[in-house]
Amino acid sequence: MKGMESAKGRIMKRIIACTLTGVLALGMVGCGSGKSAKSDQAVEEAKTEASQGEEKKDEAEGIKMPAPASKLKGKQYEDVVTQLEEAGFTNIKLKEDADLTTGWLHDDGEVSSVSVNGDDEFDADTPYKPDSKILIVYHTFAEKTEKDEASKSKEKKEESTSQKQSDESDAKESVDESAIRPEFQEAMDSYEAFFDEYVDYMKSYQNDPTNAELLMGLSDMMAKESEMLKEFDDWENDEDMTTAEAAYYLEVQSRVTAKLAEVA
């Protein structure tokens, strides 16, 4: 009997030992799973904080130009506007530089300069705020703006004339809008005569570009051209220009442009 009780005792001890082992094993697995879950959550939180930190850093630094100033110069202004808008810039202004007469040196719409907040020597790595002031200056033909300017000048003259006519004390000073001053006529004739000579000279030069005499005179001819263009532009800013003079000014410009097209 004692042997049987001893055997039963040993069996019970084994059962209790196995049970305790199982409980401990389950407890360890549970602890391990809890630690793993907490670790994964911490990693995800760290990644999120890092990502938010990078976004804040990028926002603080601004956005970069799509190209340096030297690369944007010479492109068509529409293409530059598209590049800047795609980069994220929102405050883009355009300005015409009506300096083209023949279009030999620059194309119509070709960018002359691009500046950001007044800086026209930026590089592609410099960050700017999206609403930075960007000014694009581009070349265009003077002929395109002359009609508008002449129209504005005409309106100013008409308003001035109307005001003078309404004032009896200044009635005698009213401007005859159909009159053309002798000095204005002489200046226009001189301008057109020079470009007749200029066109003939350039035709000769194009036919014989190695002619030493023509080569020697080319520099003087180009200098004279710049001088005549400046004098012509000065007349456009003359506040005393009458309606008849404004109309004749445009006629002369149109004829000279047509002549220059022959040697373009």
Question: What whole-number distance in Å separates Cα of residue 31 and Cα of residue 36?
Answer: 9
Whether this prediction's pTM lies above 0.75 is answered by no
Pairing state between β 63-64 and 111-116: unpaired
Residues in the chain: 264
pLDDT for residue 29: 45
Question: What whole-number distance in Å separates Cα of residue 213 and Cα of residue 143?
Answer: 33
92: left (phi over 0), alpha (psi -120 to 50) or beta: beta
pLDDT for residue 10: 62
Domain residue ranges of the chain, discontinuous segments joined by +: 64-143, 175-261
For domain 64-143, the CATH architecture is 2-Layer Sandwich (3.30)
The CA angle 221-225-228, to the nearest 5 degrees, is 135
Per-residue pLDDT of the chain (264 residues; tens, 9 = 90+): 444 555 555 656 666 555 555 545 545 545 455 545 556 676 676 666 655 555 544 445 688 888 888 888 889 999 989 988 998 889 999 988 887 777 677 888 899 899 998 888 888 778 888 988 999 998 888 766 666 666 777 777 777 767 766 665 554 456 788 899 999 999 999 999 999 999 998 898 889 888 888 888 888 888 898 899 999 888 988 888 899 999 999 999 999 999 989 887
The CA angle 101-104-107, to the nearest 5 degrees, is 85
pLDDT for residue 42: 63
Neighbours of 233 (CB within 10 A): 13
Question: What whole-number distance in Å separates Cα of residue 61 and Cα of residue 59?
Answer: 6
pLDDT for residue 79: 93
Identity of the amino acid at 76: Q
Q: Helix (H, G, I), strand (E, B), or coil: what is residue 127?
A: strand
pLDDT for residue 94: 93
